[in-house]
Every structure is written in C-alpha cells, then in structure tokens.
Amino acid sequence: MDGTGWRPVKRTRTFEDVLAQIERRIAEDGLTVGDRLPAERQLAEQLGVSRSSVREAMRVLETLGVVSSQVGRGPDAGAVLTSRPDSALTDLLRLHLGLASLEMREVIDTRHMIEQWAAATAASARADTADLAAALAGMDAAGSAEEFVEHDTAFHCALAEASGNRLIAAIMRSLRDSMRRYSVEAVQRLGDTSVLRADHVRILAAVDAGDPGAAATAVSEHLAHAYPSLFGH
C-alpha cells in the first residue's frame, strides 16, 4: 500500500487513446461502411498527437478489418471504413495455430458444429441453393486435389452464407482458410472423392427439401468421411 489511493492500473499508450477517440467518433457521428476518416495528418493535429501514434491506431483498425487505407488522392483515398472481419479471423487462427495454442482438432470440431447448424438453419429457411449447386459442379470438374478443395471450400462457405448469419459465415470462411493445407492432404490421403461427392449431393438435397434433421445428419456423416482419423473412438 502506498497510501495515496492510487494504483498505476495501466498506462494508456497514445495510440490506444487515439483508437478510443476514433471509435467514439464512429459511434457519435454515426459513421458507417464507406465513410472516410480524416487524413492521418489532420487526425494527428486534431488529437494533439504525433502522426506515428495515429498510424499505429490505423494499423490496429486495419488488422481488425474495420478500415482500409488507400494512398493517392480523391474520394477513394485515405482511410475508409469497411467491414472485413474475415481476414482478421483468418490471421488470428493461423497465428494461434502456429503458436500451438490451438490444435487442428479444435478447429475441425468447431467447423463441425457450425456446419451442422448452418445446414439445419438453411434447410429450415428454404434458402436459395444456387451457389451450392455451382460449387458442386466445380468439384466435379476439378482436376487436382487443390482444385477440388477450392470448390469444396466454396460449397461449405456457401452453406454457411445460406444460413443468413454473417458472423457464422465469416467464422466459417476463416476456418476453411486456416485448414486449407490440411484439407488438401486429407483429400489426397483419401484418394477417391466419389464418397465426398455423394455426401455433398445429400446435403444439398436435404437443404432443398427443407429437412433440417437430414441436413445436419448429412453434414455430420460427410465430416466423418472426410476426416476419418478424427472421428474414430
């Protein structure tokens, strides 16, 4: 106890203050996607800080996928508010997988959960399945494991989007991005993709039929086929 009643709880770095100011401004001025933030030099002057601090705050916002910086001049230049949570989530997953603070098993279980939910929800909502069918056609035409996985990813992301929940769709895209290499290896190990194709057809049919239970079951069986090593008991 120092008797002053003070505790150096946490020092606030300048760029954190800048972040708070910008966030407040977004809320107060009702800024939304497409609007521009003031230029770095202006912002620095307005807030009474150096441009470096403003730039560090910009890096954070860019990392979180809420702004996008463009050089040059004109209406599209400068820091523009955007909404790209995908790359942020992807980077997050990739780095934490690299640090071994997450395991692939956890990622795949999460995907399993999301995909079952998305399939059931899309089926209940009788969502449009044109994108799903297109991705299925792409898989049939694929000539390599990489190409197959690409269209497979498109199929599953389209399924997540069909659920109508943008947060879940964003998480799904990031999960797939993080697993790409792993998925390619899984397909190569499997060799034959006809089983996977049949699974996809069943998922699509269940969604089209508006049968949530069947859709969820089809997804579950599909993942068991795709990653047999993770579903053994």
Residues that bind DNA (CB under 7 A): 8, 11, 13-15, 37, 39-42, 48-53, 55-56, 58, 69-79
Q: Residue 3 or 8: which CB sits closer to a copy of itself?
A: 8
212 binds a copy of itself (CB under 8 A): no
Q: Of these partners, DNA, a copy of itself, none, which one is at the site of residue 14 (CB under 5 to 8 Å by kind)?
A: DNA
> How far, CA to CA in Å, does 13 sit from each of 8, 18, 20, 45, 160?
13, 9, 11, 17, 39
Q: Where are the beta strands (DSSP E) in the chain?
A: 67-70, 78-81
Q: Is 202 exposed, middle or buried (0-12, 13-18, 19+ CB in 10 A)?
A: middle
Q: Of these partners, DNA, a copy of itself, none, which one is at the site of residue 70 (CB under 5 to 8 Å by kind)?
A: DNA
User: Shortest Cβ distance from residue 193 to a copy of itself (Å)?
Assistant: 28
Q: Tell me how long the chain is.
A: 233
Residues 155 and 139: beta-carbon distance below 8 Å? yes
20 binds a copy of itself (CB under 8 A): no
Q: Give, as ranges, the residues between 50 and 89 that touch a copy of itself (CB under 8 A).
A: 52, 55-56, 59-61, 63-66, 81, 83, 85, 88-89
